[in-house]
Each structure stands twice: as structure tokens, then as C-alpha cells.
Amino acid sequence: MIEEQKVSQPRRDLAEQTVEKVMSRLVDTAKVDAVFGHPVERGNATVIPCSEVSVGFGFGFGGGPVDEKGNQPGGGAGAGGSARGRPIAAIVVTQDNVRVEPIMDLTKVALAGMTTGTFMLLWLLRLVRGTKGEKGPSFSKLKRAIES
């Protein structure tokens, strides 16, 4: 007969130790040094690189049902995580002013443009063609719809 599931103490301790270890590494990753780089002096200007840091983590553990003898025959645990950093700006400090120069990710801009263009093209084709067996709207109807 299957009884209430209980996780044995050694497994719970191992899981807690693993979580604590990973969380301490994640906290180290998210420190200020990970976001703001070391200042670089060039002539009369100081440049401070800035980055975006993203961290994700997940874990789980469990065991099989307890048998009649009180043994827990199966169980397991797993964890996974990821950290990613990318440059987003540079702070330029001069004697006269401080300015932030953004760093554009051209790949993201290009992908967003292609996705938007494809979406618009597909909808325009759908408007022009209509559904099966129907004649689509005329260009004058389409123009009136856009202008209103």
C-alpha cells in the first residue's frame, strides 16, 4: 500500500546545500562589478562600460512512494541555471559633461524589422486576397480603411 510521501533527511540536506551553493554563485554574478566595468581613461575622458546581466535558475527533487517496509525506492533531483551578460551602454565622463552612449544591438533591430515587415505583408496579402471563394476588398476600400 502506498503511504504519504516523505523526503528523507539526507536528500533534503543535499538539496538545500545545492540550492544555497547555486544561489551564492548567482548573487556573485549580479554584483555591481558585473554591470559596470572598470573605468577606462582616454585623453580627457573616462569611459565606463555598462552591461545588462540576466540570471535564471530552476530546480526540483522528488521521490517515489514509500513501500510497506518504509523504504523509498526511487528519487532524484536536478537543477539548472543560466547567466547572460551583454553590453548596453557606455558612460562618457568629461570635464564639461556626462553622457550615456547607448550600444545598439543591430541583430535585434534587424530581426524586429524583418518580423514586422513579414507580419504586415501577410496581413496585406490576406486583405487583398480575401478568403476562399470571396473576392478581396478593392484598393479603394483598403485606402479608405487606412485613412479612417
Taking the complete model, does pTM exceed 0.85, yes or no? no
Please, are residues 105 and 87 in contact by the beta-carbon 8 Å criterion? no
What integer is the mean pLDDT of 17-26? 78
What integer is the mean pLDDT of 121-130? 81
Span of 17-21, 30-34, 63-67 with lowest mean pLDDT: 30-34
Distance CA 108, CA 88 (A): 12
109 has a pLDDT exceeding 60: yes
How many C-alpha atoms does 129 have within 13 Å on its Cβ side? 8
pLDDT of residue 86: 85
Residue 93, by phi and psi: left (phi above 0), alpha (psi -120 to 50) or beta?
Answer: beta
pLDDT in tens, 35-90: 888 999 998 999 999 998 887 878 777 777 777 887 777 777 777 777 788 889 99
The better pLDDT of the pair 122, 21 is held by: 122
